[in-house]
Amino acid sequence: MSTDDPTPRIPEIFEAIDTGTASDPSLPRDESARVTVDGEPVELAAGATVLDAIQKVKPDSLPALCQYDHPDIGPRSECRTCVVGTDSHGIVPSCSYPAKDGMAVQIDDPRAVEARSVNLDLVLGNHNLRCTTCGKNGRCELQDTAIDEAVETPRYGVFDDRSAYEPIDDTSSFIQIDRNKCILCNRCVEACNDIQVEGVLRMEGSGADTRIGFQSGAETMEESTCVSCGHCVTVCPTGALVEKGFEDATTIPLPGFTQKNSVGSVIEASDRRRRPVTPAKRDELAKSTDELDSGTGSPDQGHAGDGEDGVPDVDPWGGGA
């Protein structure tokens, strides 16, 4: 890296990031509020949400599946398992609704109770519930919630159509993706982009095809620009993103069943040698290789998919093979 230019290049990195998610407005931070939760008064600082109020009075009384306690993550407000009743604004998602002065919150408003239950079941209905072969068994927020809420039989069943399962992406040496367990809470995308500023993960598709994908357009984790920082795994509430080596750490040993074969197809690592994926690193490598290697062409040509070294034909910043 040149020392002549002291200006960090971070803004350009931000410009290149395309998370596929909406530019949500920030929550207002202007006024403190005094509200009641099930009749109990709560004093709140400016910028507090209805969920903040509830946490003060009745901590952990709501599923709030997609909510995550970090200023740079969320509120995504997508799962709607935190909705409560209010006297002034009807049913509101507590995780993202600003607490307004004088508001009376009812956790057990019958419409809210019904909605939390239905929405939790809707999440479970599109989740591979083979907990016994899941590496997050026993440390899964969705499992914990289902237990807390005493869900025995989700009303829409569970996602158990093997032909419709997406293959497990086991191509990375460090992180495994099982999209059949993803609840699309978007925490990983925010951790990857807003905290680590890596620009790897994104939300893609729409409707039932909505999924976590890669900004480079790559199909697998191995071919993506992931630097294996692991922040996405840290924030993932379910077994959708798991550290390699832990993917079957908590599975129950049953003869013939493994974490992988319980889902069906698996995309395995190609075992191809990889070059650094970040442009800066690649340039560094290009320089050092040039110095070492006298004139057989730049390594970047090799990177562009000549197949000789098995490097995939993907331009990590250019949007796809």
Partner 1 sequence: MLPKYFYVGLPRADYDRRPRVTENLVTTDPIIRISAGAPTPFIADVDDGAVPLIGVGSTGISQIEPLAIATTGDTTVFYPQCSPTAVADLSRRLAAGDDATNQAEWVVRHQPQPRRLPIPTEGPLAVGSRDILGLCGWLRPTAGDDYRAAMGFTEPDRIDVQSQLTGLQGRGWGDIATDIPLTDIWRDIQEQSDDPVLVVNAHSNQTDHLLLESIPLAVLDGARVTAGAINATEIIIYTSDTADMPLQHTKAAIAELPRGPPVTTATGPTEYRAGEPTMALEALEGVSRIEARRRPPSPAEVGLNERPTAIHTPRTLVQLLATIHSPDRQPTRLLRYTGDVAAPAVVELPETATLEDGLGAVAPTGPIKAAAVGGQFGGFTADLDIQAHPGALGDADLGTDGRVEILTTDRCVVAEIGRRARTASETNCGRCVPCREGTTQLVGLLRAVYDGEVQAEKIQELCRVMDTTSLCAFGVQAARSVRTGLAGFQSEFTAHANGTCPAGVCYHTTVPENHRVSS
Q: Which residues bind partner 1 (CB under 8 A)?
A: 18, 20-28, 75-81, 83, 90-91, 93, 96-98, 111, 114-115, 118-119, 122-123, 125-126, 155-156, 184, 202-210
In angstroms, what is the minimal distance from the CB of 109 to partner 1?
A: 10
Distance from C-alpha of 105 to C-alpha of 86, rounded to nearest angstrom: 5
d(CA 165, CA 265): 8
Nearer to partner 1, 37 or 115 (CB): 115
d(CA 141, CA 60): 12
Q: Which is nearer to partner 1, 123 or 311 (CB)?
A: 123
Give me the numbers of helices (H) and strands (E) for the chain, helices first please: 8, 11
Task: Identify which of residues 208 and 292 has a Cβ nearer to partner 1 in the complex.
Answer: 208
- The least distance separating partner 1 from the CB of residue 107, rounded to whole angstroms, comes to 15
Rounded least distance, CB 94 to partner 1, Å:
11
What is the closest distance, in whole angstroms, from the C-beta atom of residue 67 to partner 1 in the complex? 12
Element (H, E) at 40: strand 40-44
Cβ distance to partner 1 smaller for residue 93 or 316: 93
Q: Which is nearer to partner 1, 74 or 135 (CB)?
A: 74
Complete DSSP assignment for 204-259: E--GGG-EEEETT--SSTTTS------HHHHH-SSTTEEETT-TTTT---BTTB-T
Residue linked to tokens 């796809």:
320
Rounded to a whole number of angstroms, the minimum distance from the CB of residue 123 to partner 1 is 6
Least distance (Å) between residue 158 CB and partner 1: 12
Min. distance of Cβ 143 from partner 1 in angstroms? Answer: 17
Question: What distance in Å separates the CA atoms of residue 82 and residue 78, rounded to the nearest whole number?
Answer: 10
Q: Which is nearer to partner 1, 62 or 203 (CB)?
A: 203
Pinpoint the alpha helices (H) of the chain.
Answer: 10-16, 50-57, 110-125, 141-148, 187-190, 231-235, 279-292, 299-303
Instruction: State which residue, 83 or 277, has the beta carbon closest to partner 1.
Output: 83
In this structure, are strands 104-106 and 83-86 parallel, antiparallel, or unpaired? antiparallel
Q: Let me know the angle formed at the C-alpha of 240 by 247 and 230, rounded to the nearest 5 degrees.
A: 75
